[in-house]
Copies of this chain bind each other. A is one copy, B any other.
Amino acid sequence: MSYQVSFISHGKTVAMEGGKTILDAAAAAGIPLESNCGSTGKCGKCKVRVAKGYAPQDAAAGRRFFSEEESAAGWVLGCKYEIKEDLEVEVPIQMDAGSRKTKLNSLLDNIVISSPIKKVYVEMDKPSIQDQCPDYERVLRALNIDAAGQRPSRGLLRVIPKTLRDAGFKITAVLLDDQVIWVEGGDTTAEKYGFVFDIGTTTVVALLIDLNDGSIKAAAAETNPQNVFGADVISRITYAMENGEEGLAQLHDKVVECMNDLALRAAAEAKVDKNHIYEATVVGNTTMSELFAGVDPTYLAPAPFIPAYVHGIEMSGAELGFTLNPELRVHLLPNIAGYVGADTMGVILGTHIHERPEYSLAIDVGTNGEIVLAGNNRILACSTAAGPAFEGAEIKFGMRAAEGAIEEVYIDNKSGGCHVKVIGDKKPRGICGSGLLDAVAQLYDEGILNLRGVFNVEGEEAEKIHPDLRKRIIKGEQGYEFVLTTKEESAKGVPVTICQKDIRELQMAKGAIYAGMRVLMNEMGITIDQVKELLVAGAFGSYIKTDSALSIGLFPDLPNGSILSIGNAASEGGRLALVSEAERALCDELARKSEYIELSSRVDFQDEYVMALYFPAKEETGSGE
């Protein structure tokens, strides 16, 4: 028998045989509905809501992915829900790979947009022998601004005479904090823009922001060109140290040039006049921040890891080397400590973590994992040396999250299946951080690894492994490896595998982060059941699967809390600080309020770390499958 399945979200209807799934119907209707786990119900990507005709089906209930309320509202797994009558189905536009992880909305709608940049159009009287008011004072007079508090720059005074005359004394004045900083011919009041720059050790991102409403008009990103002096912060600090003033200047110039290029590119794309860009905020880790400011980071590298400053800095864009508006002001947001930088401040400000349900944890994971715990009127922050595992380095087949990288893994011990999702849908060349994490979690979930991270190759547990999967455990040069894709399936003609050492690296990385969270809780004097939420920042937060992170114990399983992905919160904080004076002041205030906890001087850190190396016992993960 045939039924009508209407995808109300897409305005398409198909007829389907009874017993087929909604995933089949979507395929027939040409509606993209992701599914990466071979319809095993494990990836949760094919979530849909049956708006009409819904009847509970056990297999499609996806307990891991939906709350009871969601199930009652008709949310099901498309790959498992069988068509037994006419249905109306809603496919959500954006789906999140994670299950219990929801996306945090931008705070932009909750704050008052109030850029310190204001623009006012005026038509002035022309000078005469009876009215010899000087040009600059004429502008102030037309604006009805008292000259007493004004501190004009040379740059402004240089452009005023010609601008006024070229424009027939009809001009737009640009004000910053009630100071006239620029004049433009004609009425350009609508055009005011700024940039948020996120200087990552690896990637520099520029977001062109409309200062009127905070919207992102264009974005551009590029590899941080400082990488020619070293891939990580320590090697760049060393380069600056060994090459003195000149080395420092090279590092500074490289990144500023890159930022300026990105800005010009984004402005061109959005058809924005570069002279209409008046302010920028900059976030980055403390080393990136110091190099950007051209400050010697030498003493950051050795103990006791002392940065030159953590204070936010206001700088002249022209002096730095930007070719946007000559009066561009650049605000480098405050850092907290040598290894908790302005990027973490961006997370704190971008989430207003101090106002979120107590207690709230936030993590931003890269080579270092920065952790923040807020509540009880305190903000604690620490940094853990997570190591490079999450970035795919020091891993046998590790690679960055680029085309050809395995980013998701689905292993099913019942069927013996092993599926991978590869970036760009190519044959895999290797595995990136999120893929590694996913793979290890699946191996542990399906009983192929034990609690200590060791392959079950003998005994009772080994017997339980599906023969197809058991065949994938091979003996390599340095112990056992698990074959994710065969040599036929792989790009380079050799199988892509996960080896025992890779698993150890991951255990150390996740152990360090988990232990860092525990130390902050100890310092705060709370237990894990008091934590209401875990905010996961950055690319890491967007790409890894929450269930996998919970499985291996990278994320704590919060009995009374939820997990939220907060996207590029560092940039988000930069954006809030850019478009609101109040947020900028708040950022400085929160930075001063934040307490840095140095883990290397904590006796409890080592204990927590050792305990956190193992995977959580399975009853604790909440994984019910």
Binding site for B on A (CB under 8 A): 127-137, 147-148, 150-154, 157-158, 160-162, 165, 293-296, 298-299, 303-311, 313-315, 319, 337-338, 588-589, 592, 596, 598, 600-601
Contact (Cβ within 8 A) B150 A311: yes
Contact (Cβ within 8 A) A309 B160: yes
Contact (Cβ within 8 A) B319 A152: no
Given contacts A129-B303, A152-B313, A313-B157, contact A134 B308 (CB under 8 A): yes
Q: How far is the CA of A286 from the CA of B559 in the complex (A)?
A: 74
Contact (Cβ within 8 A) B309 A157: yes
Contact (Cβ within 8 A) A308 B136: yes
Given contacts A305-B132, A600-B129, contact A157 B310 (CB under 8 A): no
Q: How far is the CA of A366 from the CA of B288 in the complex (A)?
A: 56
Q: How far is the CA of A309 from the CA of B147 in the complex (A)?
A: 11
Complex partner residue of A136 from B150, B161, B298, B311, CB under 8 angstroms? B311
- Chain B residues within 8 Å of A147, by CB: 311, 592
Q: How far is the CA of A133 from the CA of B306 in the complex (A)?
A: 7
Contact (Cβ within 8 A) A299 B598: no
- Chain B residues within 8 Å of A131, by CB: 304
Contact (Cβ within 8 A) A588 B148: yes
The minimal Cβ–Cβ distance linking A225 to chain B, given in whole angstroms, is: 21
A151 nearest CB neighbor, chain B only: B314
Contact (Cβ within 8 A) A307 B135: yes
Q: How far is the CA of A102 from the CA of B349 in the complex (A)?
A: 67
- Chain B residues within 8 Å of A152, by CB: 309, 311, 313
Contact (Cβ within 8 A) A132 B309: no
Q: Which 7 A-B pairs have the closest CB atoms?
A: A136-B309, A129-B304, A134-B307, A127-B306, A157-B295, A161-B308, A134-B310
Q: How far is the CA of A160 from the CA of B297 in the complex (A)?
A: 11
A315 nearest CB neighbor, chain B only: B154
Other A-B contacts than A132-B304, A158-B295, 11 sampled, CB-CB below 8 A, are: A127-B306, A129-B303, A135-B299, A136-B311, A148-B588, A148-B589, A152-B311, A153-B313, A157-B295, A161-B295, A161-B298
A156 nearest CB neighbor, chain B only: B309
The minimal Cβ–Cβ distance linking A35 to chain B, given in whole angstroms, is: 49
Q: How far is the CA of A528 from the CA of B308 in the complex (A)?
A: 65
The minimal Cβ–Cβ distance linking A164 to chain B, given in whole angstroms, is: 9
Sample of 30 A–B contacts (CB below 8 Å): A127-B304, A127-B306, A129-B304, A130-B601, A131-B304, A132-B337, A134-B309, A134-B310, A135-B306, A135-B307, A135-B309, A136-B308, A136-B310, A136-B311, A147-B311, A147-B592, A148-B588, A152-B309, A152-B311, A157-B293, A157-B295, A157-B308, A157-B313, A158-B293, A158-B294, A158-B295, A160-B308, A160-B309, A161-B295, A161-B299
- Chain B residues within 8 Å of A294, by CB: 154, 158
- Chain B residues within 8 Å of A298, by CB: 161
Q: How far is the CA of A151 from the CA of B151 in the complex (A)?
A: 16
Q: How far is the CA of A131 from the CA of B299 in the complex (A)?
A: 14
- Chain B residues within 8 Å of A130, by CB: 601
Contact (Cβ within 8 A) A306 B132: yes
The minimal Cβ–Cβ distance linking A242 to chain B, given in whole angstroms, is: 15
Contact (Cβ within 8 A) A296 B132: no
Complex partner residue of A161 from B132, B135, B165, B296, CB under 8 angstroms? B296
The minimal Cβ–Cβ distance linking A603 to chain B, given in whole angstroms, is: 13
Between A135, A150, A160, the greatest number of chain B beta carbons within 10 A of the residue's beta carbon is seen for: A135
Q: How far is the CA of A152 from the CA of B334 in the complex (A)?
A: 12
Q: How far is the CA of A457 from the CA of B311 in the complex (A)?
A: 83
Contact (Cβ within 8 A) A137 B295: no
A307 nearest CB neighbor, chain B only: B134
Q: How far is the CA of A593 from the CA of B293 in the complex (A)?
A: 42
A310 nearest CB neighbor, chain B only: B134
The minimal Cβ–Cβ distance linking A315 to chain B, given in whole angstroms, is: 6
Contact (Cβ within 8 A) B304 A598: no
Q: How far is the CA of A305 from the CA of B154 in the complex (A)?
A: 20
Q: How far is the CA of A539 from the CA of B160 in the complex (A)?
A: 35
